């Protein structure tokens, strides 16, 4: 029987017989996907100064990474990697959208980033960016005053770790 599922990280719905293993929008793992009727999702979070600073930085990270992946998807010299980078750009844009909702920002300006024609260099840069994001998100989660912010940071650590494995497999 087809059901309506909802990711509790990004809030987006999905229709299917079973929940997807990963949210098709933000990449969150299946543990963050529930039947929509049972899913409580909020982006209305009271932010301490520390959490606001971390969320603003997370938004910058995701905008930058989305820009890099968008560039790499058009310039890299490997067809499969163009597809990978296109998919990663969409996921990173969705992550930026999560932080935008938390910060109550309507518009975000995409950031143009530099990338390479040589696929290996793009994969190395992807790896570097993902490691940096993971380290930041882990620390931000540990120090957050908000359960919801910790939930999002923890879920994104899992997703960015998945991205890290994608680059590792290709290096």
pLDDT in tens, 96-137: 999 999 999 988 788 789 999 999 999 999 999 999 999 999
Domain extent listing, the chain: 3-38, 49-170
Distance CA 54, CA 73 (A): 28
Which tens digits make up the pLDDT trace of 59-87?
999 999 999 999 999 999 999 999 999 99
Q: Which fold has domain 3-38?
A: Rubrerythrin, domain 2 (2.20.28)
Q: Which fold has domain 49-170?
A: Ferritin (1.20.1260)
Distance CA 143, CA 114 (A): 32
What's the start-to-end Cα distance of the chain, in Å? 41
Which tens digits make up the pLDDT trace of 21-65?
999 999 999 999 999 999 999 999 999 999 999 999 999 999 999
């Amino acid at each position: 029987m087809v059901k309506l599922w909802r990711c509790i990280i990004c809030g987006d719905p999905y229709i299917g017989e079973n929940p997807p293993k990963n949210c098709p929008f933000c990449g969150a793992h299946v543990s963050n996907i529930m039947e929509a009727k049972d899913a409580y999702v909020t982006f209305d979070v009271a932010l301490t100064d520390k959490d606001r600073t971390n969320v603003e930085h997370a938004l910058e990270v995701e905008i930058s990474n989305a820009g890099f992946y968008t560039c790499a998807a058009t310039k890299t010299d490997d067809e499969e990697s163009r597809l990978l980078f296109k998919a990663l750009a969409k996921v990173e844009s969705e992550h930026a959208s999560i932080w935008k909702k938390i910060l109550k920002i309507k518009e975000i300006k995409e950031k143009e980033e530099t990338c390479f024609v040589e696929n290996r260099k793009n994969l190395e840069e992807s790896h570097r960016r993902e490691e940096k994001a993971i380290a930041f998100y882990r620390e931000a989660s540990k120090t957050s005053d908000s359960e919801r912010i910790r939930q999002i940071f923890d879920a994104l650590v899992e997703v960015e770790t998945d991205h890290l494995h994608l680059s590792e497999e290709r290096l």
